[in-house]
Structure 1
């Protein structure tokens, strides 16, 4: 078995500034309804939650080898959490096609954040 890896780190202030300058247009372009609902429920760490999901989407797209906009768009990936809090990705039909063409067997995610940064690591098993 082989693995494809992607990692991304985001300054939380960068996400906060994107919200300040672009507001809902930025949010609605990048995040799904479920992601928005989750992040908005995290009042104290709202921007940290958005930044972690932003980083996760970047990390997954890097693991795919496409990056954002070269095959996979922001909303082609939805970053959710299971009941225990473990993050996972739900793929759109378009992203599933790429996933299946790769003969992928699974995607694992790890997200973290501190006061200034959010980081995500994605592994695709092929």
Structure 2
């Protein structure tokens, strides 16, 4: 059963300016393994994190660095959740998260679908 969906769109040049204005933002938003990625990939991961928060219906108990977007050997992206963020997802009865990312023409986007049995 689908529990929730979320989508987000990021203007990559605007995101770049924000990171330049606030250098520590990269550390606050991204897990260590994500921080060295190229800007379009970072923007897509930011969109994924925003889309996940929308899927959950809010950010209570969710921490940015506890949401990591990793890639399978095939390149398919997936969430790696930890800490209270993983607990929040489990508390909502979510057993599987589907994620897709894209970036092109100055924009990055992400779409998330949460599956499971609502509690």
- Say which structure is richer in strand: 2
**TM superposition score normalised by structure 1:** 0.86
Indicate the RMSD between aligned Cα atoms, in angstroms. 1.2
1:98 and 2:88 correspond: yes
CA distance in 2, matches of 1:32, 1:100: 20
Name the counterpart of 1:26. Answer: 25
CA distance in 2, matches of 1:72, 1:58: 11
Name the counterpart of 2:3. Answer: 3
In structure 1, runs of 5+ residues without a counterpart are 40-45
Give the total of aligned pairs: 116
**TM superposition score normalised by structure 2:** 0.91
Name the counterpart of 2:111. Answer: 121
Task: Give 1:2 deviation, angstroms.
Answer: 2.6
- Say which structure is richer in helix: 1
Task: Give 1:88 deviation, angstroms.
Answer: 0.3
Following TM superposition, the consecutive aligned residue runs of length 4 or more in structure 1 with deviations greater than 2 angstroms are none
